[in-house]
């Protein structure tokens, strides 16, 4: 062991950075944080410009750039699974959308035996994390590290989206993270002064001047070190050397839904037969490691625009240069927005208690990762089911930590998932057909007017749907035989080891994962410090009064 610390955190993403900040706030705690990727350099404009995030989804300099195995229900397509490999983890490469999920998601976790994780118990941690530019209230925080702001870049299209939903009979909500998630309305994003406000910027950088916090970048964790059943450190590779660091108190894995199960398996924690295949000595048989993998799948309805007001007018050399210059010198303009400035949540049918479809409205006809663009002005509504029933897995490719894992999500493997996204396409078309879009709406570009039957829509989804970048649940929290961590995020069967990231979610929440994962880090830090949990916040939550009998 080269150095000794009280705590070692593997990963600087949404949860890891929050934990590092809270633990190191006590001067007596010696904290080491390991990040496999580089620093989030100030000059890397692709990281810091909100509008540039699509470039990061294809940039292996700051991205693990994972690929799935051929997905059997998606025409055997090999699909992308980008994950952040940089200070801030995926919060440094994501789309910046700030969404917490629905209250019922967390109540469902608690009802499954995860004490302490109901909405009333997690809401205080969401509030503690957040500094909302629009102001605090009983649902929202006002003085936390994470800056949550908003932007309005192309008001006519966003206003048309919201008005069209109203015309279609859906409720309008001014805050999908407050009292009422259900409905269509504006979105907020994690930015400050026009720049991305990742978990590294919010939590880690302010703490890096503390003498008791050590942050090592380009440090690839190879395995957790054990003495018997107790985790006592981490072996990692840095600069071509194999190093070890000792943890006197605890090790926390915050590598995310792909890397955390990989590191557990490399450390001998997982299915005994699977580990035997790679000659990895068994530390603890936990068959759930790497199982239960989930993700949000997303598709879109694209329309041509009859007016030249979309992002396409900036999608040329001169437009990019002027946008970049305004952002660089003033932190304003179209570069300061992620352009997911509106969206919403709806229910696909009667009998669904809370929304099962999420929207991200985007003022351009383009693939989410920017890899393909329609040849003209257009706009689109991204749409995807919120609580997928398809389940996948993460498995080792070898015992070499540098080898990327094998992973498969089994997207669209269940009839329910297929029905929900099929219904979502039809409901989206209905919204876009409303009068509010009459002055902007041209021809339907995708799926296309000829795609109407169930079979045709299913074929379009199999060919075109992509990840919404929300993998989770591969080290699920619970007490059953497939659970990996308990409600205090301690790994079952061993001591001194926790997992705190999106992998511990028992199932997918109804929304984007950055905000919930930061909440997980906040809550985990209190558990580790032995602090009493923050007091419950009992607040009303909107549920459509006629949800059992009406779709809207």
In sequence order, the 6+-apart residues with CB closer than 8 A to the CB of 215 are 12, 20, 33, 35, 87, 204, 208
DSSP string, 66-120: EEPSPBTTTTTB--EE--B-STTGGGGTS--EE----HHHHHHHHHTT-TT-SHH
pLDDT band at 375; cut points 50, 70, 90: confident
What mean pLDDT is predicted for residues 289-308?
A: 97
> pLDDT tens digits, residue range 74-111?
999 999 999 999 999 999 999 999 999 999 999 999 99
Structure confidence at residue 430 (pLDDT): 98
For the chain, give the percent of residues with pLDDT over 70: 99
DSSP-derived pairing of the beta strands 3-10 and 241-253: parallel
Task: Identify whether 470 is a catalytic site residue.
Answer: yes
Q: What is the pLDDT of residue 228?
A: 97
Per DSSP, 363 falls in state: S
Q: How far is CA 440 from the centre of its chain?
A: 32
Q: What is the pLDDT of residue 469?
A: 97
| Residue listed under structure tokens 């799948």 | 297
Query: Residue 338's pLDDT is what?
Result: 96
| Closest C-alpha among 187, 163, 165, 164 to residue 175 | 187
pLDDT band at 536 (very low <50, low <70, confident <90, very high): very high
- Select from 525, 38, 496 the least CA-distant residue to 267: 496
Using CA atoms, how far apart are residues 451 and 437, in angstroms rounded to an integer? 21
pLDDT in tens, 233-283: 999 999 999 999 999 999 999 999 999 999 999 999 999 999 999 999 999
Strands annotated E in 164-264:
183-186, 188-189, 191-192, 195-196, 213-216, 219-227, 230-238, 241-253
d(CA 25, CA 455) in angstroms, rounded, equals: 57
- Among the listed residues 102, 339, 354, 470, the single catalytic one is 470
How far, in Å, CA of 9 to CA of 105, rounded? Answer: 27
pLDDT value of position 367: 78
Q: List, for residues 128-170, the tens digit of each pLDDT value.
A: 999 999 999 999 999 999 999 998 889 999 999 999 999 999 9
Q: What is the dihedral of CA 120, 126, 129, 132, to 10 degrees?
A: -120
What does the pLDDT average to over 205-228?
98
| Tokens standing for residue 425 | 């396409």
Q: Are 88 and 201 in contact (CB under 8 A)?
A: yes
Confidence of residue 324 (pLDDT cuts 50, 70, 90): very high
Query: Is residue 366 very low, low, confident or very high in pLDDT (cuts 50, 70, 90)?
Result: confident
Under the banding of pLDDT at 50, 70 and 90, the label for residue 1 is low
Distance, CA of 258 to CA of 261 (rounded, Å): 6
For CA atoms 373, 375, 378, 380, the dihedral sign is negative
Render pLDDT for 462-488 as a digit per residue (tens, 0 to 9). 999 999 999 999 999 999 999 999 999
The predicted structure's pLDDT at residue 372: 66
pLDDT recorded at residue 315: 86
Tokens (6 digits) for 535 = 């007091």
389: closest CA among 297, 258, 516, 271? 297
Q: What domains, with CATH codes, occur in the chain?
A: 3-60+67-529 (3.50.50.60)
Give which of 13, 72, 92 is closest to 393, Cα–Cα: 72
User: Residues of 468-495 as b/e, b for ≥16 C-beta within 10 angstroms?
Assistant: bbbbbbbbbbbeeeebbbbbebbbbebe
Query: Residue ranges of the alpha helices (H) in 168-285?
Result: 199, 205-207, 256-266, 272-277
Short-list 299, 351, 300, 410, CA closest to 77? 410
**What residues have CB less than 8 Å from 547, skipping those under 6 apart?**
347, 350, 351, 352, 353, 354
**228 CB-near residues (< 8 Å, 6+ apart):** none
């Amino acid at each position: 062991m080269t150095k000794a610390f009280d705590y070692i955190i593997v990963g600087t993403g949404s949860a890891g950075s929050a934990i590092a900040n809270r633990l190191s706030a006590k001067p007596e705690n010696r904290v080491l944080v390991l990040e496999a990727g580089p620093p989030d350099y100030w000059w890397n404009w692709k990281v810091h410009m909100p509008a540039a995030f699509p470039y990061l989804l294809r940039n292996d300099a700051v991205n693990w750039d994972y690929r799935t195995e051929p997905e059997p229900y998606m025409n055997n397509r090999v699909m992308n699974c980008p994950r952040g490999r940089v200070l801030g983890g995926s919060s440094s490469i994501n789309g910046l959308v700030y969404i917490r999920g629905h209250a019922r998601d967390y109540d469902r976790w608690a009802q499954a035996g995860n004490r302490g994780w109901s909405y009333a118990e997690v809401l205080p941690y969401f509030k503690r994390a957040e500094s909302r530019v629009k102001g605090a209230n009983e649902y929202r925080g006002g003085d936390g590290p994470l800056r949550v702001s908003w932007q309005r870049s192309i008001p006519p299209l966003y206003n048309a989206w919201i008005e069209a939903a109203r015309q279609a009979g859906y409720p309008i909500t001014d805050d999908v993270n407050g009292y009422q998630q259900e409905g269509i309305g504006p979105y907020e994003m994690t930015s400050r002064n026009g720049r991305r406000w990742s978990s590294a910027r919010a939590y880690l950088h302010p703490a890096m001047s503390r003498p008791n916090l050590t942050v090592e970048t380009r440090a690839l964790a190879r395995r957790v070190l054990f003495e018997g059943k107790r985790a006592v450190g981490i072996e990692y590779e840095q600069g071509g050397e194999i190093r070890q660091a000792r943890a006197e108190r605890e090790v926390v894995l915050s590598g995310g839904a792909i890397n955390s199960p990989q590191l557990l398996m490399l450390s001998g924690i997982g299915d005994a037969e699977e580990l035997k295949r790679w000659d990895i000595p068994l530390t603890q048989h936990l068959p759930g490691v790497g199982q239960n993998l989930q993700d949000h799948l997303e598709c879109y309805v694209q329309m041509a625009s009859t007016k030249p007001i979309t992002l396409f007018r900036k999608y040329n050399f001169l437009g990019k240069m002027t946008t970049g210059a305004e952002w660089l010198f003033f932190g304003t303009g179209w570069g300061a927005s992620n352009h997911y400035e509106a969206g919403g949540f709806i229910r696909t049918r009667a009998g669904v208690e809370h929304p099962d479809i999420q929207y991200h409205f985007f003022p351009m006809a383009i693939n989410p990762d920017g890899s393909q663009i329609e040849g003209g002005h257009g706009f689109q509504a991204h749409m995807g089911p919120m609580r997928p029933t398809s389940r996948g897995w993460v498995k080792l490719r070898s015992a070499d930590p540098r080898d990327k894992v094998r992973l498969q999500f089994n997207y669209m493997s269940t009839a329910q998932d297929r029905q929900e996204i099929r219904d979502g396409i039809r409901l989206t078309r209905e919204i876009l057909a409303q009068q509010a879009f009459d002055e902007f709406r041209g021809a339907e570009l995708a799926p296309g007017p000829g795609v109407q039957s169930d079979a045709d829509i299913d074929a379009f989804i199999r060919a075109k749907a992509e990840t919404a970048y929300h993998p989770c649940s591969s080290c699920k929290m619970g007490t059953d035989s497939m659970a990996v961590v308990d409600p205090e995020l301690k790994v079952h069967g061993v001591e001194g080891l926790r997992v705190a990231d999106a992998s511990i979610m028992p199932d997918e929440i109804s929304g984007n994962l950055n905000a919930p994962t930061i909440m997980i880090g906040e809550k985990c830090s209190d558990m580790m410090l032995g602090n009493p949990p923050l007091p419950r916040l009992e607040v009303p939550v909107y549920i459509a009064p006629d949800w059992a009998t009406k779709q809207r």
